[in-house]
Amino acid sequence: MDERSNAPFGSQPAPTRIAVIGAGPAGFYTAEALLKSDRDVSIDLFDRLPTPYGLVRFGVAPDHQKIKSVTRLYERTLQDPRVRYLGNVAYGSDVNLADLRRHYNAVVFTVGANADRPLGIPGEDLYGSLSATEFVAWYNGHPEFADLDVPLDSRTVVVIGMGNVAIDVTRILAKSVAELAVTDIADHALEALERSQVERVVMVGRRGPAEAKFTTKELRELGELVNADIHVRADEVAPDAASLAAVAGDVNVTKNLEVMAWFAEQVPSGKPRAVELRFLLSPVEILGDERVRAVRFERNRLVVGEDGWISAVGTGEYEEIPADMVLRSVGYLGTALPDVPFEPRRGVIPNDEGRVLTGPDGSVVPGLYVAGWIKRGPSGVIGTNKACAMGTVASLLGDSLPSIEPRHATPEAIDELLAERGVKVVDTHSWLRLDAAEVAAGEGSGRPRVKRVRLDQMLDV
Ligand code: NAP
């Protein structure tokens, strides 16, 4: 008997055709896990942008090139003959769910979380109030954010949030142009940062130092800035007893506390910029008439819940921090996809171990899967998506998949459909040409690459 006839999907034509929607880390780890399985697979990896790698290109900070080197593994996946890259194809407009159902046995959504979580306080829409996700996308050359108005005539910037994104944006604002000029930061951002008037960046957390979400390596970098002194208040970084008990044994938090205690001992050495960390302050209003003038915070105290969770409770005391710009860095948020169930509060597609459900407690939608941030929310580092994708692929491989008509079951059939619709697909070969052109453009100036930012510049290659 043919080995494939033992497969749960029965008599449908092999190989199993799988569409992966979103070519970021979760998409690549999904493809990799499928390739490593013993199933005969044919994978089409879609992205709405011409360029693959998602948050590795548009989220990871430009001065963190080591983290970006993970793309070498993704490149290997792209070069596997069982994988095709279909860039510049938008789910929802160029292809819809009905199309995918006709051409693939399974669809895995790995679209990430591309919006930002709002604070829900007055003044959030004032000029000078931006989300960190927009600012990050702008300096990383995301085509949709190239024209973002970033008021870098600001002297003081308040960054709300104590995660790694808050640290990234703080560091980029604090670094000198000379340090950034050897990275792959977008040219428009480098030019704007050259004129930056920023002198002080204040990162503000609503809970205490032991509850901060950042990792120690990233925190340490704030104390090593050539251009900025670090300021923390000894009384604010001394953790309370309840927090210490709650985090006992947590290596990251213990190290974070040590680093912050060391920061508190540092005497400012007169560098042109200052980075400050403040704790136990919840933003209640962004103040200003047309432009941000200050942020009003309520001072908090920490309370331990019955489940051990430490939350911040307002004390009724307030403090204003003057600011010309505010970066809200309180987390990414997934957005709904056409024809796919969605849980708006959590910003995820409801799922059971990666199998899409009709709703949070609903039934399984056969043939639809999910991995990465749109499956579990915006948490963890890039590598976290590997285990997440492997879990989804294990579910997929164990399921009976819907069959597809033989005439739709070939790569050529979807190519024809896209060509009929006038979609300019960027395939692996075209992406590698664009990649090589960007890398070559950086060679003369010691940069890893010079990113093409506008879609037409990308498609020109
Ligand atoms: P995050 O780690 O979840 O941090 C969000 C921060 O916002 C927390 O400090 C949170 O405080 C705070 N916050 C949430 N709601 C708030 C509110 N209403 N008012 C005030 N503060 C509020 O999110 P992220 O920084 O966006 O990072 C997303 C993920 O990407 C994380 O897993 C992160 O580690 C990862 N990442 C990694 C790197 C790296 O490895 N170098 C770089 C960037 C991002 P509470 O804790 O009190 O909720």
pLDDT tens digits, one per residue of 224-275: 999 999 999 999 999 889 888 888 889 999 999 999 999 999 999 999 999 9
Contact 358, 318 (CB under 8 A): no
Angle at 19 between CA 457 and CA 366, to 5 degrees: 145
Ligand 1 near 298 CB (within 6 A):
no
Return the half-sphere exposure (C-beta side, CA atoms, 13 A cut-off) of residue 452: 21
Q: Tell me what pLDDT residue 246 has.
A: 85
Nearest residue CA, atom 23 of ligand 1?
331
**C-alpha angle 394-398-404 in degrees, rounded to nearest 5:** 110
Among the listed residues 172, 456, 149, the one whose alpha carbon sits nearest the alpha carbon of residue 329: 172
The three-state secondary structure class of 124 is coil
- Calculate mean pLDDT across residues 443-459: 95
Q: 292-304 and 41-46: which strand pairing?
A: unpaired
What burial class does residue 444 get, using C-beta atoms within 10 Å of its C-beta: 0-12 exposed, 13-18 middle, 19+ buried? exposed
Give distance in angstroms: CA of 166 to centre of ligand 1.
7
pLDDT, residue 269, reads 94
| Residue having the nearest C-alpha atom to atom 38 of ligand 1 | 164
Q: HSE of 63 in the Cβ direction (CA atoms, 13 Å)? A: 20
**Is 212 found in the same domain as 76?**
no
In Å, how far are 118, 132, 169, 438 from 61, measured between CA atoms?
22, 12, 8, 17
In angstroms, the CA 166 to CA 157 distance is 12
- Same domain, yes or no, for 32 and 59? yes
237: nearest Cα among 212, 220, 253, 257? 257
Domain count, the chain: 2
Answer whether residue 334 shows pLDDT above 90: yes
Q: Tens digit of pLDDT for each residue in 304-313?
A: 998 889 999 9
Cβ atoms 170, 127 nearer than 8 A = no
CA atoms of 126 and 286, how far apart (whole Å): 8
Q: Which residues contact 66 (CB under 8 A, 6 or more apart)?
A: none
Nearest CA to ligand 1 atom 5: 330
In a domain, 94, yes or no: yes
Ligand 1 centroid–CA 423 distance in Å is 37
Mean pLDDT lowest among 11-20, 44-53, 342-351: 11-20
Q: Where are the beta strands (DSSP E) in 323-408?
A: 325-328, 332-333, 351-352, 355-357, 364-370
pLDDT at 380: 93
Length of the chain: 461
User: Is 288 among the domain residues?
Assistant: yes
| Mutational pocket test of ligand 1: of 117, 119, 162, 204, the residue with most ligand atoms within 8 Å of the beta carbon | 162
- Counting from 1 in the atom list of ligand 1, the atom nearest the Cα of 330 is 7
- Is 206 near ligand 1, meaning CB less than 6 Å away? yes
Please indicate, yes or no, whether residues 355 and 322 belong to a single structural domain of this protein. no
Task: Give mean pLDDT, residues 221-226.
Answer: 97
Residue 136 and residue 284 in one domain: yes
Which one of 164, 286, 329 would you pick to mutate in the ligand 1 pocket, going by the greatest count of ligand atoms within 8 A of its CB? Answer: 164
Locate all alpha helices (DSSP H) within 273-410, ordered by sequence.
Answer: 373-376, 384-398
Whether residue 9 lies inside any domain: the answer is no
pLDDT at 1 over 90: no
Q: Per-residue pLDDT averaged across 296-310, rounded? A: 94
| Interstrand relation of 292-304 and 332-333 (parallel, antiparallel or unpaired) | unpaired
293 lies in which domain range?
A: 119-328
Strands (DSSP E) found in 233-280: 273-278
The average pLDDT across 371-395 equals: 97
Mean pLDDT, rounded, for 302-323: 95
Q: Quote the ligand 1 centre to 214 CA distance (angstroms).
A: 7
What are the two backbone dihedrals, phi and then psi, of residue 28, each rounded to the nearest 5 degrees?
Answer: -70, -40
Q: Does 381 contact ligand 1 (Cβ within 6 A)?
A: yes
pLDDT at 239: 86
Judgement on whether residues 349 and 392 belong to the same structural domain of the protein: yes
Task: Kindly state whether residues 143 and 261 are assigned to the same domain.
Answer: yes
Q: How many A from CA of 332 to the centre of ligand 1?
A: 8
Domain with residue 445: its CATH number is: 3.40.50.720
130-178 confidence digits (pLDDT tens)? 999 999 999 999 999 999 999 999 999 999 999 999 999 999 999 999 9
Residue to probe by mutation, ligand 1, list 119, 129, 206, most atoms within 8 Å of CB: 206
Q: What is the residue with the minimal CA distance to atom 20 of ligand 1?
A: 206
Q: C-alpha distances in angstroms, 401 versus 66, 169, 322, 392, 397? A: 39, 43, 57, 14, 9
Instruction: Find out whether the beta carbon of 119 lies less than 6 Å from any atom of ligand 1.
Output: yes
443 C-beta neighbours (distance < 10 Å), count? 11
What tokens appear for 161 in the block? 């949030």
How many other C-beta atoms can be found within 10 angstroms of the C-beta atom of residue 421?
12
Index of the ligand 1 atom closest to the CA of residue 379: 32
Last residue of a domain, one of 306, 328, 350: 328
Asked if residue 10 has pLDDT above 50, the reply is no
- pLDDT, position 11: 52
How confident is the model at residue 4, as a pLDDT? 38
- 279 and 150 share a domain? yes
Statement to judge: residues 355 and 254 lie in one domain: no
Is 0.75 surpassed by the pTM of this model? Answer: yes
Q: What is the mean pLDDT of residues 198-220?
A: 97
Give the domain-ending residue among 307, 328, 349: 328
Of ligand 1's listed atoms, the one at least distance from the Cα of 207 is 47
For residue 66, is pLDDT > 50?
A: yes
Find the mean pLDDT for residues 310-328: 97
Digit-coded pLDDT (tens) for 77-114? 999 999 999 999 999 999 999 999 999 999 999 999 99
Position in ligand 1 atom list of the atom nearest CA 132: 26
- Residue 8 in any domain: the answer is no
| Residue the block writes with tokens 């809970």 | 207
> Average pLDDT, stretch 364-377?
98
Atom of ligand 1 nearest to the CA of 59: 43
Pocket lining: 218 vs ligand 1, CB cutoff 6 Å: yes
Q: Does any ligand 1 atom lie closer than 6 A to the CB of residue 330?
A: yes
| Spatial separation of the C-alpha atoms in residues 181 and 179, rounded to whole Å | 6
d(CA 108, CA 389): 10
The answer to the question of residue 7 being in a domain is no
Q: Which of 163, 100, 178 is nearest to 132 (CA)?
A: 163
pLDDT value at position 9?
Answer: 47
pLDDT band at 6 (very low <50, low <70, confident <90, very high): very low
Residue 10 placed within a domain: no
Atom of ligand 1 nearest to the CA of 331: 26
Q: What is the DSSP string of 32-101?
A: HHHHHSSS-EEEEEE-SSSS--HHHHHTS-TT-HHHHTTHHHHHHHHTSTTEEEEBS--BTTTB-HHHHH
> DSSP secondary-structure letter at 348?
B
Question: Ligand 1 within 6 A of 25 CB?
Answer: no
Closest residue by Cα to atom 1, ligand 1, is: 163
450 lines ligand 1 (CB under 6 A): no
In a domain, 6, yes or no: no
Ligand 1 within 6 A of CB of 69:
no
| CATH, residue 270 | 3.50.50.60
Nearest CA to ligand 1 atom 16: 330
The single residue listed with the structure tokens 């503000």 is 204
Amino acid letter for position 55? L
Summarize the confidence of residues 406-410 as an average pLDDT: 92
Instruction: Say whether pLDDT at 3 is over 80.
Output: no
pLDDT tens, 28-37?
A: 999 999 999 9
Cβ(309)–Cβ(210) below 8 Å? no
Instruction: Check pLDDT > 60 for residue 199.
Output: yes
Average pLDDT, the chain: 95
At how many degrees (to 10) do helices 164-174 and 132-139 cross?
50
Q: Is 331 in the pocket of ligand 1 (CB under 6 A)?
A: yes
Give the whole-angstrom CA distance, residue 47 versus residue 143. 14
Is 13 a residue whose pLDDT tops 80?
no
> What's the token pair of residue 307?
């489940």
Atom of ligand 1 nearest to the CA of 166: 25
pLDDT tens digits along 416-431: 999 999 999 999 999 9
Q: Is the minimum distance from the CB of 378 to ligand 1 under 6 angstroms?
A: yes
Q: What is the mean pLDDT of residues 385-411?
A: 96
